[in-house]
Structure 1
């Protein structure tokens, strides 16, 4: 992956001028910074960025420029990068399973906030992490609806175990907190409602007043046709329900969006390699590259098809099976995509809302995977 130093007007100018035969991510820093300011203006607490969603240094630098002062990190590599780019930022090490070498590194790098979801991992933290000024945030899970996929399948204690962990962390001298994740691309605000009320019950059952409640990520970006998600409605619900559930013991709030912050700051430009016998479409990118996430959360339907001359294909859409470039039958986008009937070899298929996980999960499998990043003033079409 490489970053061009040229600044383009918009994605159409990139297509018309460069005629790229390899996939290109078009990044608009103005969109990223505007989204960051929207979160900081609307969310009733500290906004941190989930680095894993897009760990590109230019993304981190633009978020810092916009005012983001906290980061959710999941590995020593992410910790080291943020300490270099934003030395005074708050680091929340919220990957709840860590090797002892990883814990030792994080302590050395002055990480103060940790999550945990099991007794065995809590005991490691008690053994290795100094208590002074350090926070342990117990991660819990509930059944989830309205999310593209469920983080609780891998992480999170039951409500009963969470009370035990919270009590143990407080007794050990750590600042006690709770955290959860409602699931990625969560479009149902009531998911936060259920989690916040459960958090209040967990704290009550543990006999602990929590210092902070981290309401996770899950904030959606604009992936489907129609209006963009109303983030402000989610922010207002979180504020109201926290007040109702905790009353006078209301904790400080934290969120850790990844996709919600960075998703709409990039579009992904792919090219049609072939239209096989007028039916199947082959792109120069697929599930081993920048489109790796689509089989997990579904095809984005905010898509434009643009000719090499920069003209839009406007004929009615026809359902097509879409394959990636590799010599592997798994390399297929889920379901079918409605693409214009006049789609032709050499056209460009542009996916909007592709800032999260597209570059982070890109591989070079089968010799493909060259991915260029360019900067644009706007992502308008």
Structure 2
């Protein structure tokens, strides 16, 4: 606990410094960090190779190794994410409202940093750079705790960024990494409310549940993604095939991948053989209900648990429904409130789906893979919030600020 208290105290001190930084200095830090990532590519790849070798040795699934892997393009992407933040407006200091009361008091509300943000995450080393960038741009210090499977990669990335900050005269304690990846230390971090103002878990359902159950720090729940695509009776088949293919197969191990397919019974007999052929070409395995099996008997039978599962693998569940109401009810029951899509040419069905689906992102005729801070124009993202308080959906810069009231008077007393 002494180790964490020292990190927390240093982060708290750094946060008071970051709170006073103007946008020019913050952008200097982001540019320096981006340049350092590119200049140290060989060092980062060497560290990542150690993590990959260990993952292979431990029999990690192919889709999860893909999440863990760094390469030239992904390091370029990390650097670009930081540079994209440079071009975005700094929300800190924005005055949201300003009103004059009858007694002459002028009461305004402005955006301010949250303070110290803690992030517990799994596998993906790019989160290390993204989390730093978003927190730094919004004047927040950040304490990271990654998984043991990415320890070498995360340690290397943090060392490179901290050195870059120091070289341009900025506090390196804006970014700190907990290098002890034991569960005990993770739980101790969840109790560090005297230093950490907000805790964000990024990872699987088990991690998120553990944080919610054990944290004494306010938590923003980021999402596991049991994302659905509903193929309506009025769907364009070619569009549906392309969207489902993209949503499921572009990257298997991501939270916005399509894990569940819902198809209207009126088109099922014609559409199912088409989507089966399209996805099985890419080694996707269907787990389907009895009605679907009667049409396409090469699919595997689905169990109840399949309809609510985030596979992050080469599986997809399939449910046949008779009405859009049944589709919406099925999705709302089994989804994780992440991202859902309808494929339809029927305007009324599209609007009904948009209005009645309970999720952070709801699409009409588009892939769920777009639920991403970069795709939404936020630069990087700190995570996809599936809760309903403070922030929901991809969390960009604004989601990492709080507000305070500012009041101007000229001698008023109550």
Bigger fraction of residues in helix: 2
Rg (Cα) greater in structure: 2
State TM-score, norm by structure 2. 0.28
